[in-house]
Amino acid sequence: MRTDTPQTIYRKDYTAPSYLVDAVELGFDLDPARTVVANRLTLRRNDAAGTGGARREIELYGEELQLVAIRLNGKALGARDYAIDGALLRIPCDAQDVVLEIETICVPETNTTLSGLYVSNGNFYTQCEAEGFRRITYFPDRPDVMATYTVMLRADKRQFPVLLSNGNLIEEGDLPDGRHYALWEDPFKKPSYLFALVAASLVCQEETFPLQDGRRALLQVWVEEGNLDKTDYAMQSLKRSIRWDEERWNLELDLDRFMIVAVGDFNMGAMENKGLNIFNTKYVLANPRVATDVDFQGIEAVVGHEYFHNWTGNRVTCRDWFQLSLKEGLTVFRDQEFSADMIGTASGRAVTRIDQVRTLRQAQFPEDAGPMAHPVRPDSFVEINNFYTVTVYEKGAEVVRMYQTLLGRDGFRKGMDLYFARHDEQAVTCDDFRAAMADAGGRDLSQFERWYSQAGTPVVQAETHYDAERQTYTLRLVQSCPATPGQAGKLPFHIPVAVGLLGADGRDLPLTLDGVDLGTTAVLELVEADQSFVFGGVREQPTPSILRDFSAPVILKYGYSDAELVLLFSHDSDPVNRWEAGQRLAMGRLLKLAEDAAAGRSLDLDDVFVDAMRKMLVDASLDPAFREQALLLPSETMIADQMDVVDPMAIHMARQFVRADIGARLRSELRAQYDASQTPGEYSPDAESIGRRALKNLCLAYLCAAPDEAAIALARRQFDEAGNMTDRVAALGALVHARASSAVADAAAHADDALRRFYDEFQGEALVVDKWFAMQASAPTTDVAAVRALMTHPAFTLRNPNRARSLVSTFCGANPVGFHAPDGSGYAFWAESVIALDALNPQVASRLARAMDRWRRYAPALQKHMKKALQQVAGRATLSNDVREVVGKALA
Ligand code: 0A1
Ligand code: ZN
């Protein structure tokens, strides 16, 4: 917690480290109240780094450490031999080779930030990315300092029977006084942020797994006792990840042992520490009784993501934290491709792609249009932990995907091979990645750099003209990009725009551009601000399908008629654009209805839209998973993002009206589809079954959006008879959301009864209790008073990030009606919660703080309350850098 003005760090100020570290030897005497860390560093002067005329110094960082002793080449240093300025410890030194020994003490049991060395449920864990290692020992804690690590762990044997660190176990044994030790050695050079240790009472599922090159690796999934019945899926996902990386990229596991450890207190999803991944329990523990389909999918994606980091992030790492997307964008792209390949079918791939587009629109586009907007490779930050964003991750993945779209799959693979050939065991930049792609593909990708340096979502405005006489069809694309903080004007991007043309019968027309036959989907390269493409041999007036497969993270504007959208929604051979047409049909109506609701006019939904939805619902030739996506309306956040002045209540009323109207008008079709989508037999989280359950449960949600006694009875029956958590929570959600219905007797009692029974049955399962809180926090009938009441529940605590997020963050981020109450009570609650959380865990507080990002978009009456709440937080004398940066930028 700091009180001084936080410092901004700039990318342009990067300088190379004055000393490099070749080897690190760490000794830990682990004690929750007083852990002693002995650190022996072998350093080498980095002559490539200038000192700007100043005397050379060894620069080390340390936070929350008690410094016991420092020795330089065997000589004890006194207080005058070094200087400590905040987190920075500087030792004047010019020697070529140096051995530095440092002894420090830290207190894991009081570390509530969950960064550095901390205690969770009595066990020790570490989290070092981005700058947590400096909370363990003094060190040149920056990713371009890569060293080999040898780690000796000592702890009480009864309390901490399992002692783990990175790499290979060299030796273990007993010590006097009931203690024991384990010596670990990691043969690969790594930056300090990839260091990890675990000292705990845990159990594991393990097996040896054959690698492509004939070696066998020991795989382990470590969990607390009582959870071994929930590790199978993580283990299977790990094995699939290893195999996929070998087969798709020829990348092998480089260690003899790979460990995953699950911990209940964790700030993020998981962490890719070399050979010792530490995971939030949410992304490890699953069985059908406690985990939903979405949980299973999340586990596969995150296990893959962390495993893939072993090459994209660990073997080749980032030069500095501005390059974060080098590893994160690339690794998200890899985990997205992994998930898509695991499904295998074209339609399954499309559904994963639609999910990605949804995430971008739901979270990244708003970020890119708000006060925290930043380029994929930021130019500055106050607190790096604030930059683990959807822009760095998801937009970063889109940028990587665009290389593949421009170079083709084979060209992209060549670029990846060249990247590893050039940079293995190095710390590099996004420019190095781009250079590998350009060189491997023989392409000039200099303009493509703007995807890294310019923030904001580009807008592509399309116009078309059909010349029947010449049989030409002209597509004019005009691109622009709105101003973002610190970036007023933007230059044109290099945008791949995949395009197809549909005939009146809905079939793809053959494409010819400048006499070249391009099949049925052409990837146009938009590089100018205003550029036209003329297709030849077009025999009829076509309907354009633009931005197929969402070929670039842009907003496409085109004046589609309803008839064109219905044609695309019924026929587009590109499933992503087929879905997109439905979203456009829905969005047009939702915006109009929100206006009507705000003006107090009566609401009405036209037959064209309802018929299109009906057709989609009953089209048995389409995958259930795709139909579910196509029938899901844009979220309230997405609708809000389209409005100049956001009225959350009007948006909610509009969307609820559409849901209820569909529920009522398609009642019999929904009911029939509900019955047709059952998944008899044993639960399995395969894509086909997941799709059927998703469609079935969407039907239930629609039926309960216009509830009659039959719909509620259906939900109750599903709740009672559900053989898995997916169906159980879907039914509970339907009941809770129908709570206020006046059309059904005892709607509230049914909801309350189900909630009570759910809690009684699952109170021993922390992750399920999180769902129980989140379900109530997001229900539109839940107001601040109800949230405050839930906070007094014995199972609630702000100290556990998952639990705090399940109630507080869900209410502030996913319950627009409750949060934006006209009296400002939601915002006052937000301010109070940010302040309370900040005292415990700045990273979690800062994420919550972002719920107010877009405050300037709301109606003036709401803005006034929001500003007051922001000022209340900003006015606190003690605030973390994390929160200060977020609220400061919001108010700027
Ligand atoms: N690198 C991890 C995410 C992560 C980032 C920061 C953390 O603490 C501040 C923890 C984890 C990943 O991409 O999975
Ligand atoms: Zn990552």
Instruction: Tell me, using a 6 A CB cutoff, whether residue 267 lines ligand 1.
Output: yes
- In contact, 404 and 443? CB cutoff 8 Å: no
Position 2 scores a pLDDT of: 52
Angle at 612 between CA 610 and CA 616, to 5 degrees: 115
Tell me the C-alpha distance between 135 and 383, whole Å: 15
Q: Is the beta carbon of 268 within 6 A of some atom in ligand 1? A: yes
Residues in the chain, pLDDT under 50: none
- Cα(280) to ligand 1 centroid in Å equals 11
Per-residue pLDDT tens digits for 428-470: 999 999 999 999 999 999 999 999 999 999 999 999 999 999 9
Q: Starting from the CA of residue 126, give the closest ligand.
A: 1
User: What CATH fold (topology level) applies to the domain 459-552?
Assistant: Immunoglobulin-like (2.60.40)
- Fold of the domain built from segment(s) 763-892: Zincin-like fold (1.25.50)
Ligand 1 pocket member 302 (CB < 6 A): no
Which ligand is nearest to the Cα of residue 130, counting in written order? 1
> What are the C-alpha distances in Å from 808 to residues 363, 805, 819?
18, 5, 10
Which H, E and C letters describe 431-454, residue by residue? HHHHHHHHHHHCCCCCHHHHHHHC
Spacing, Cα 625 to ligand 2 middle (Å): 27
Q: Catalytic site residues?
A: 306
Q: State if residue 673 touches ligand 1 by the CB under 6 angstroms criterion.
A: no
3-state secondary structure of 365: helix
The pTM score is 0.99
Residue ranges covered by each domain of the chain = 1-201, 205-292, 316-453, 459-552, 763-892
Task: Give the 3-state DSSP-derived string for 812-824, with helices as H, strands as E and coil as C.
Answer: HHHCHHHHCCCCC
Nearest residue (CA) to ligand 1, atom 8:
129
Q: Which of 427, 433, 459, 461 is nearest to 448 (CA)?
A: 433
pLDDT at 358: 98
Crossing angle of the two packed helices 607-618 and 624-631, in degrees rounded to 10: 160
| Substitution candidate for ligand 1 out of 63, 115, 118, 129 with most atoms within 8 A of CB | 129
| Residue nearest (by alpha carbon) to ligand 1 atom 7 | 129
> Ligand 1 center to residue 208 CA distance, Å?
27
Q: Which residues contact 727 (CB under 8 A, 6 or more apart)?
A: 693, 697, 718
- Give the Å distance between the CA of 349 and the centre of ligand 2: 21
In ligand 1, the atom with minimum distance to the C-alpha of 306 is 14
| Ligand 1 centroid, distance to 375 Cα (angstroms) | 19
Cα angle: 282, vertex 283, 287; to 5 degrees: 80
The reported pLDDT for the residue numbered 5 is: 73
Task: Say how far apart CA 357 and CA 563 lie, in whole Å.
Answer: 24
Say yes or no: CB of residue 241 within 6 Å of ligand 1.
no
Give 28-75 as a 3 state SS string: EECCCCCEEEEEEEEEEECCCCCCCCCCCEEEEECCCCEEEEEEECCE
State in Å: Cα 767 to ligand 2 middle.
22
Distance (Å) from CA 331 to ligand 2 centroid: 6
What is the CB-side half-sphere exposure of residue 27 using CA atoms within 13 A?
Answer: 7
Architecture of domain 316-453: Orthogonal Bundle (1.10)
Probe residue for ligand 1, chosen from 118, 268, 882 as the CB with the greatest number of ligand atoms within 8 Å: 268
Q: How far apart are CA 748 and CA 715, in angstroms?
A: 13
Does 271 sit in the ligand 1 pocket, CB within 6 Å?
yes
pLDDT at 764: 98
Ligand nearest to the CA of 334: 2
Nearest to 781 by CA among 806, 747, 809, 753: 747
Hey, do 205-292 and 316-453 end up sharing a CATH topology, with the first three levels equal? no
| Closest Cα to atom 5 of ligand 1 | 129
CB of 385 closer than 6 A to ligand 1? yes
Pocket lining: 129 vs ligand 1, CB cutoff 6 Å: yes
Decide whether any atom of ligand 1 lies within 6 Å of the 272 Cβ. Answer: yes
Angstrom CA distances, 146 to 43, 139, 421, 426, 563, stand at: 11, 11, 18, 8, 59
Strands 459-467 and 555-557, by their bridges, are parallel
pLDDT of residue 4: 63
Is any atom of ligand 1 closer than 6 Å to the C-beta of 127? yes
Closest protein CA for atom 3 of ligand 1 = 271
Of all ligands present, the nearest one to the C-alpha of 326 is 2
Cβ contact 649:825 at 8 Å? no
- Nearest in space to 414 (alpha carbons), one of 435, 385, 391, 440: 440
CA distance 369 to 582: 24
Q: How far apart are CA 589 and CA 556, in angstroms?
A: 18
Instruction: Give 617-646 pLDDT, tens digit per residue.
Output: 999 999 999 999 999 999 999 999 999 999
Ligand 1: distance of its center to the CA of 229 in Å? Answer: 26
Protein residue whose Cα sits closest to atom 1 of ligand 1: 271
- CA 226 to the chain's CA centroid: 29
Nearest by Cα to 454 from 373, 558, 382: 373
Q: How far is the CA of 328 from the centre of ligand 1 (A)?
A: 9
Residue located via tokens 């839930």: 790
Does ligand 1 come within 6 angstroms of the Cβ of 328? yes
CB 700 within 8 A of CB 715: yes
ipTM topping 0.95: yes
Domain 1-201 has CATH 2.60.40.1730: yes
* Residue from 874, 802, 879, 855 nearest 646 by CA: 855
Assess whether the C-beta atom of 138 lies below 6 angstroms from ligand 1.
no
Domain 205-292 grouped into CATH 3.90.1530.10: no
Which residues keep their CB under 5 angstroms from ion ligand 2? 328, 331
